[in-house]
Amino acid sequence: MFRVVASRMIVPNVHLLTLEAPAVAREAKPGQFVILRACEEGERIPLSLSDWDAEMGTVTVIFLNIGFTTNQLAALEEGKTIPTVVGPLGNATRIEKYGTVLCLGGCYGIGSIFPIARALKAAGNRVFTLLEARSAYLFYWEERFEAISERVIHITRDGTRGYRGHIDRLPEVVKDLGVPIDRIIINGCTFLLKRGSDASRPLGISTWVSLNPIMIDGTGMCGVCRVTVGDATRFACVHGPDFDGHQVNWEELLHRRKAYMVEEEVPFRTSRCNDHGCKA
């Protein structure tokens, strides 16, 4: 069993969970993910690692409380346990000295882009961070990004902080930075990944995204996380999760992600977990 060390909502609907998982923490690298189950009868869901502490033996994930299982995870109190933390899974983000890198994170992706930005900085890159949210009150961990970034830039849908609008304004942001960008890395929801990739395509900047399709085993066995990248079929869990955003078949991915939308919203009372007395 894996003990909950910290559990709190950091901004509305976005939750931070730190779990005791020493074997995972020892091996974790930026860009990898874990698969969790909130209870014995629960589904397995993949969540990107936002941080870890090998010495303390803990890993931290940040997620949007949006469906049945994330609701269970968000309800966990410190000291409770969950039955499954599998990982670290997936390939680590390729950290090299690229030159100048723009790290873009939105929603839960603000959390998972952080260790990537930190590692890029440590590898000698000049790091700019672009954070995207509906409104200013949804940003978090800004002091962490300030410490490792040349500049932290914001885009908000309602214009309460930084640029007003969506990530479509990326070309303008890049132009205003006034420095050549060698690579863009995006973490966040599939819409953000797609729109960010679309926006960077005309700029000709290599753009890498961390895909988040539905997964079951996370080890290449079930095929559920199948994505099309260029002409190839790839499994996001073992070939990714990072892929060239300009090569991903976004329409297919967005379609496949909707497969269990209804089930995600099934209320707790119909859950087998409750039937079995399983309390998250």
Q: Which is nearer to ligand FES, 38 or 215 (CB)?
A: 215
Q: Which is nearer to ligand FES, 223 or 230 (CB)?
A: 223
Helical axes 250-257 vs 190-200, angle rounded to 10°: 170
**Tokens representing residue 170 in the block:** 């990326």
Smallest separation, CB 36 to ligand FES (Å) = 14
- Identify whether the C-beta of residue 130 lies closer than 8 Å to the C-beta of residue 104: yes
Smallest separation, CB 53 to ligand FES (Å) = 27
One-letter amino acid at 223 equals G
Whether the upstream peptide bond of residue 30 has omega within 30° of 0, thus cis, is no
DSSP tag of 175: H
Smallest separation, CB 72 to ligand FES (Å) = 20
The residues binding ligand FES (CB under 6 A) are 215-218, 220-225, 235, 237
Smallest separation, CB 213 to ligand FES (Å) = 8
- Identify whether the C-beta of residue 173 lies closer than 8 Å to the C-beta of residue 151: no
> Among the residues of 139-232, which ranges form H helices?
142-148, 170-177, 190-200
Q: Which is nearer to ligand FES, 12 or 223 (CB)?
A: 223
Q: Which is nearer to ligand FES, 12 or 220 (CB)?
A: 220
